[in-house]
Amino acid sequence: MPTDIVVLAAGKGTRMNSNIAKVLHPLAGRPLIHHVIGTAKRLQPRHIAVVIGHQGSEVRASLADDDSGLLWVEQREQLGTGHAVKLAKEQLPNDGVMLVLYGDVPLISQQTIAQCEHAANNGSLGVIVAEFSNPAELGRIVRDDTGAVREIVEFKDATPEQRQIREINSGIVAAPTQYLAQWLSRLQSNNAQQEYYLTDIIAMAVQDGIDVVPINAVSEAEVTGVNDRIQLAQLERYAQTQRVEELMLAGASFADPTRVDIRGEIRVGRDCFIDANVLLSGAVELEDGVSIGPGCVISDSRIGAGTTVLPNTIVDGADVGPSCSLGPFARVRPGSVLGTGVKIGNFVETKKTRLGDNAKASHLAYLGDAEIGRDVNVGAGTVTCNYDGVNKHRTHIGDGAFIGTNSTLVAPINIAAKAFVAAGSALTKDVEQEQLAVGRSRQRNIDGWSAPSASPEGNT
């Protein structure tokens, strides 16, 4: 049968003490609700209905880039989980099964909810449960003498004896939609919270002779909801541990697995090494034998095989070839493309720059909007002056050229192959192949200077 998923994301999250909606707080670099929606989509449901309330427009905006297949349901009054699901049901077909997830339970796995979905497809009510060492104020699973689930009791409505139960309700359920629609219509708010509890459908299922199938979560973390920043921090550490273990199984070693943050989709080859206090974010690919030193930040980049990234280096939006050396304290910015064996040394910054094989800038240089050929040596203190105050311009340096220390290359400019720029030169004219350029002169102060005006093309 087709599956329709409901994601509840209307709550304010008062205990977060935040101006940000609870489901928008980040876990492993992504908002909580993004984790849930991503897992839900992997089940390939017919519809995903997201119930929003507090800061609903912000929640919806956060998913604007991944809005396909989402139905938006507004819960103007916070009258409980049962009320929220009932509102969503009004926009969903009556056939198939319905699965209810929570926007603040981010680590639920596809495998666990698939079991719940399977129970519903067999005509039962699936409910995901877990044994908690400290159940706190979570709803308790009440079973009969045979071990069958009879009802779920919310903590505030539980007796002292029921509060001793350690088996808790995750809130995640799945059932044939036709059954769920009937149970939702029978919900009442005569409880301590005066809300419509979705959990009351368990007792209704038992009363109607429908099997209630408990699905055991793999761990507490999988079904832990985020109610405050302490719980968020605990889940962050659990999520990081999971990601690091996945990368270790894929072939990476870590100096200290507890001192790495992973905030994206990371792929590693064999025999990679990642030192302490490294941050990997976005889409990052580390090919075989890559070594990342301590304190590095790698974002949305590919690092070629055998490349070494030395301590405290930032690589962002770059394509780095094999056998390169970056850093320490280098910054490789978006649009940088490095060939084989390139060296970017300490305090060198690149942006929108392509460096050919074996080119090197060993220290203290800025290379922006440049095309640099093979075997080029860029001396310390070199700057490609790409900005005239209004527009950006490119610098071209041919194969085998030598750029002396403290050179200033005012773009647009072309330094041909095997040209030599003398140290301390400030160049504004092209240099032909195998020429020596010496750009040194006494200071001249020119009267009547006017700054450049904006061009129609604007700044890029």
Q: Which two tokens stand for residue 280?
A: 């990997």
Strands (E) located in 75-176? 97-102, 125-131, 140-143, 149-153, 167-176
Give the whole-angstrom CA distance, residue 114 versus residue 110: 6
Q: Which of 83, 363, 393, 396 is catalytic?
A: 363
Considering all CA atoms of the chain, what is the largest pairwise distance in Å, rounded to the nearest integer? 98
In DSSP terms, 378 is beta-bridged to 361, 403
Give the whole-angstrom CA distance, residue 359 versus residue 371: 11
In DSSP terms, 245 is beta-bridged to none
Q: How far is CA 115 from the centre of its chain?
A: 27
Among all chains, which residue has been given the structure tokens 């989709």?
265
Give the whole-angstrom CA distance, residue 92 versus residue 71: 9
- 34 an active-site residue? no
Strand 26-27 versus strand 30-31 pairing type: antiparallel
Angle subtended at Cα 372 by Cα 370 and Cα 377, rounded to the nearest 5 degrees: 125
Phi and psi angles of residue 64, each rounded to the nearest 5 degrees, phi first: -60, -35
Give the whole-angstrom CA distance, residue 206 versus residue 212: 7
Give the whole-angstrom CA distance, residue 149 versus residue 142: 6
Phi and psi angles of residue 34, each rounded to the nearest 5 degrees, phi first: -65, -35
> Which residues does 281 contact at the CB level (< 8 Å), separation at least 6?
29, 261, 262, 263, 264, 297, 298, 299, 300
First to last CA, the chain: 52
What does R_g of the chain's alpha carbons equal in angstroms?
A: 30
Give the whole-angstrom CA distance, residue 263 versus residue 27: 8
In DSSP terms, 365 is beta-bridged to 348
Catalytic residues: 363
